[in-house]
């Protein structure tokens, strides 16, 4: 289903949108709270990415299925209830699978409810597209989010602890960069990735295609 005034995307483009062109972190700079808070290690970052992807895809699917029966006036409240349902499921799932991870992620699992990427997708995409399209777009967004979180978490864990996924990379003499596991480290590494992304985007020959797409403004 095409939106008036918006170019129709192919199935692949619909999926890839979130992975690269509209990457939630590197391009739209959304969901900064979990991005900065949980990326002290690669495992935490990846777990948060997977959890968010699960909520994204499930809520997009349900929102899309219900898009014709939800009255316009109460749609936001409906989306929040749907999202909160899946966040509760994820919350219990993570606690059951790994208590250590559950404690490391802390309140940020519950806070997925207010992650603006998910509500934004529900409002801007899922509520206007059929279920398959909504789910595949949400999956792309989730992968883009998870990859970006991993990129931050990996750099912070490698420099902050000399490890990746808990495996020491440099031997016992490694000098940890204390600042990298502190909040400023999150900002520094995010800034560096944004710099790299913007540099790549402005250098690529298809720079014109990278302009922000109208109608996707949500925070």
Partner 1 sequence: MTKSNFQLELRTSPHVKRGVSVERIMLHVVLALLPVAAFSVFQYGLSALALLLTTTATCLLAERGINRMAGRESTLGDWSAAITGLLLGLTLPPSFPLWMAAVAGLAAIGLGKALFGGIGFNVFNPALVGRAFVQAAFPVAITTWVPAFSAERFMGFIPTTFTAPLMTPPDITAWAKQAVDGFTGATPLARWKFETYFTPAQDFISGAATASAGESTAVLILLGGLYLAARRFLDWRIPVAVLGSAALVAWAFQLYDPARYPEPLFVILSGGLMLGAVFMATDMATSPVTPKGVWIYGALIGVVTVMIRYFGGLTEGVMYAILIGNACVPLIDQYTQPRVFGAQRGKA
Q: Give the residues lining the site for partner 1 (CB under 8 A).
A: 162, 170, 173-175, 177-180, 182, 184, 188, 191, 199
Nearer to partner 1, 149 or 180 (CB): 180
At 143, phi and psi to the nearest 5? Answer: -65, -45
CB of 163 to partner 1, least distance (A): 12
CB of 165 to partner 1, least distance (A): 18
CB of 20 to partner 1, least distance (A): 22
Query: How far is CA 153 from each of CA 39, 172, 176, 206, rounded to the nearest angstrom?
Result: 4, 21, 15, 29
Nearer to partner 1, 201 or 216 (CB): 201
Nearer to partner 1, 184 or 212 (CB): 184
CB of 43 to partner 1, least distance (A): 21
CB of 173 to partner 1, least distance (A): 5
Residue with tokens 């991870």: 101
Nearer to partner 1, 2 or 195 (CB): 195
Nearer to partner 1, 174 or 193 (CB): 174
The DSSP call for residue 129 is S
30: left (phi over 0), alpha (psi -120 to 50) or beta: beta
Nearer to partner 1, 6 or 198 (CB): 198
Buried b (16+ CB within 10 A) or exposed e, 113-128: bebbbbbbbbbbbbbb
CB of 170 to partner 1, least distance (A): 6
The helix/strand/coil state of 43 is helix
């Amino acid at each position: 289903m095409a939106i008036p005034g918006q170019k129709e995307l192919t199935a692949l483009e619909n999926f890839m949108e979130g992975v690269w062109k509209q990457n939630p972190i590197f391009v739209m700079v959304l969901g900064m709270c979990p991005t900065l808070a949980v990326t002290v290690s690669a495992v935490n970052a990846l777990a948060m990415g997977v959890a968010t992807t699960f909520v994204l895809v499930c809520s997009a699917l349900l929102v899309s299925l219900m898009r014709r029966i939800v009255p316009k006036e109460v749609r936001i409240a409906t989306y929040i209830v749907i999202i909160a349902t899946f966040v509760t499921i994820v919350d219990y799932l993570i606690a059951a699978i790994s208590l250590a991870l559950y404690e490391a992620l802390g309140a940020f699992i519950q806070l997925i409810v207010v992650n603006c990427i998910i509500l934004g997708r529900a409002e801007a995409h899922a509520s206007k597209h059929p279920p398959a399209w909504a789910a595949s777009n949400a999956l792309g967004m989730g992968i883009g989010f998870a990859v970006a979180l991993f990129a931050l978490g990996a750099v912070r864990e490698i420099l902050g602890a000399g490890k990746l996924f808990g495996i020491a990379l440099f031997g016992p003499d490694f000098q940890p960069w204390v600042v990298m596991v502190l909040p400023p480290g999150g900002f520094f590494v995010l800034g560096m990735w944004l710099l790299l992304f913007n540099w790549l985007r402005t250098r690529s020959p298809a720079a014109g295609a990278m302009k922000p797409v109208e109608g996707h403004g949500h925070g």
